[in-house]
């Protein structure tokens, strides 16, 4: 999206989408998001780290301390309401059996709750400050809303871009009928045999079944959800397991290629969107221009006060003409209320900067320094 000049105004997500979206909302940079998620994937795919995080499966296979530490180091104590971009994530409360949309609180903690797959990670116990009786047992929001485009639309988004990494169900080609009962001991011994001897898994494991449950509601809501989506990005990652973090490079590449393709198709079929993006680029380009250093206002030992003031006055006239061009190009056309507000803020920024330059024309030149004599001077 950054490569195609599509600005992101708000981010939301569920499960792994909550983590990626939360990182981007905190630091809106695709490069930084890639670096943090790559480090996260490497740590979560560590065999030794998983072994240390194992526990008796009374509540879950893993204690959750490993993921807590990794997310805490990446996001710190940032609050959701303090992110650069508006952000939300979704969880399911097992007490009220209702979905919850989180828009404030500790960022890493609610992202961790949104990723709490039942059986793999323990739920997050959330209590309201001063009201211990108001307890919430939070698990992965994918059980109720795996792709929360309806929440994003309800929050006022005009254009919704959705990234769907949901699975497509179990692969029936790898399964064989197993009857009405299963021996776990026999399955374990059989899985140790090579495939040419009939080994391997021919029956879905607990992990396989748990990883598909969050996508059940996604399949039911899929057709209705498409009506709320402007750009639908579905990378070809259904063959990647839900815990296969070691394949992060494949996932990143698939997401980039599919996202770039869909963004370009969207712009090709919507000329009004292209015009809107160009207007936004003109506005942003005008603001960036004002931040560039101005050559005429840099004092040196060889500038006199009169010359510098003359150059600055002439440069200020050119600058005012440039501002007028920005006004004519960037603020022409019809704007909504939000666009008018942004336009007025930009005009105020232009006026403030012009006033600052007009009042800052009295540079004090540095004292003249004695020129160093070089070999050429002695030769002459």
Structural contact between residues 62 and 54, judged by C-beta atoms closer than 8 angstroms:
yes
Structural contact between residues 140 and 212, judged by C-beta atoms closer than 8 angstroms:
no
Q: Which two tokens stand for residue 248?
A: 């992060």
∠ CA 118-124-130, nearest 5°, is 150
Rounded to the nearest 10°, the torsion over CA 189, 190, 192, 198 is: 160
Distance CA 161, CA 167 (A): 19
Q: Which two tokens stand for residue 233?
A: 């990005």
Distance CA 262, CA 260 (A): 6
Distance CA 88, CA 166 (A): 19
Distance CA 363, CA 338 (A): 40
Q: Which two tokens stand for residue 134?
A: 């108001």
Task: Write the burial class of residue 11 (CB in 10 Å: 0-12 exposed, 13-18 middle, 19+ buried).
Answer: buried
Structural contact between residues 97 and 91, judged by C-beta atoms closer than 8 angstroms:
no
> Which residues are catalytic, by number?
15, 140
Structural contact between residues 350 and 323, judged by C-beta atoms closer than 8 angstroms:
yes
Distance CA 140, CA 1 (A): 27
Distance CA 141, CA 92 (A): 5
Q: Is 133 helix (H, G, I), strand (E, B) or coil?
A: strand
Q: Which two tokens stand for residue 115?
A: 């990723």
Task: Write the burial class of residue 212 (CB in 10 Å: 0-12 exposed, 13-18 middle, 19+ buried).
Answer: middle
For residue 62, what are the β-bridge partners? 54
């Amino acid at each position: 999206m950054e490569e195609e000049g599509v600005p992101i105004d708000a981010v939301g997500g569920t499960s792994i989408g909550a983590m990626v979206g939360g990182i981007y909302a905190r630091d809106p940079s695709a490069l930084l998001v890639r670096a943090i998620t790559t480090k996260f994937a490497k740590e979560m795919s560590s065999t030794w780290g998983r072994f240390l995080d194992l526990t008796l499966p009374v509540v879950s296979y893993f204690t959750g301390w490993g993921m807590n530490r990794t997310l805490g180091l990446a996001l710190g104590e940032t609050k959701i309401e303090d992110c650069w971009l508006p952000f939300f994530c979704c969880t399911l409360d097992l007490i009220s059996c209702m979905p919850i949309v989180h828009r404030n609180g500790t960022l890493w903690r609610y992202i961790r709750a949104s990723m709490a797959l039942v059986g793999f990670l323990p739920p997050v116990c959330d209590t309201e400050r001063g009201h211990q009786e108001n307890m919430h047992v939070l698990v992965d929001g994918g059980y109720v809303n795996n792709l929360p485009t309806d929440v994003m639309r309800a929050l006022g988004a005009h254009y919704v871009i959705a990234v769907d990494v949901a699975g497509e169900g179990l692969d029936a080609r790898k399964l064989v009928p197993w009857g009405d009962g299963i021996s776990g001991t026999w399955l374990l011994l059989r899985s140790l045999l090579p495939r040419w001897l009939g080994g391997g898994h021919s029956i879905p494991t607990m992990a396989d079944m748990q990883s598909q449950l969050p996508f059940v509601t996604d399949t039911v809501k899929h057709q209705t959800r498409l009506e709320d989506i402007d750009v639908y990005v579905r990378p070809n990652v259904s063959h990647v397991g839900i815990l296969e973090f070691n394949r992060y490079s494949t996932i990143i590449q698939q997401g980039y290629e599919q996202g770039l393709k869909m963004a370009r198709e969207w712009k090709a079929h919507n000329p009004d969107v292209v015009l809107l993006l160009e207007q936004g680029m003109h506005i942003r380009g005008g603001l960036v221009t004002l931040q560039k250093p101005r050559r005429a206002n840099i004092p040196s030992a060889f500038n006199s006060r009169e010359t510098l003031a003359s150059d600055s006055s002439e440069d200020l006239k050119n600058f005012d003409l440039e501002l007028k061009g920005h006004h004519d190009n960037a603020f022409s056309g019809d704007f909504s209320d939000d666009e008018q507000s942004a336009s007025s803020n930009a005009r105020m920024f232009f006026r403030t900067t012009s006033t600052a330059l007009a009042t800052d024309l009295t540079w004090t030149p540095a004292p003249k320094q004695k020129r160093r004599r070089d070999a050429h001077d002695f030769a002459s």
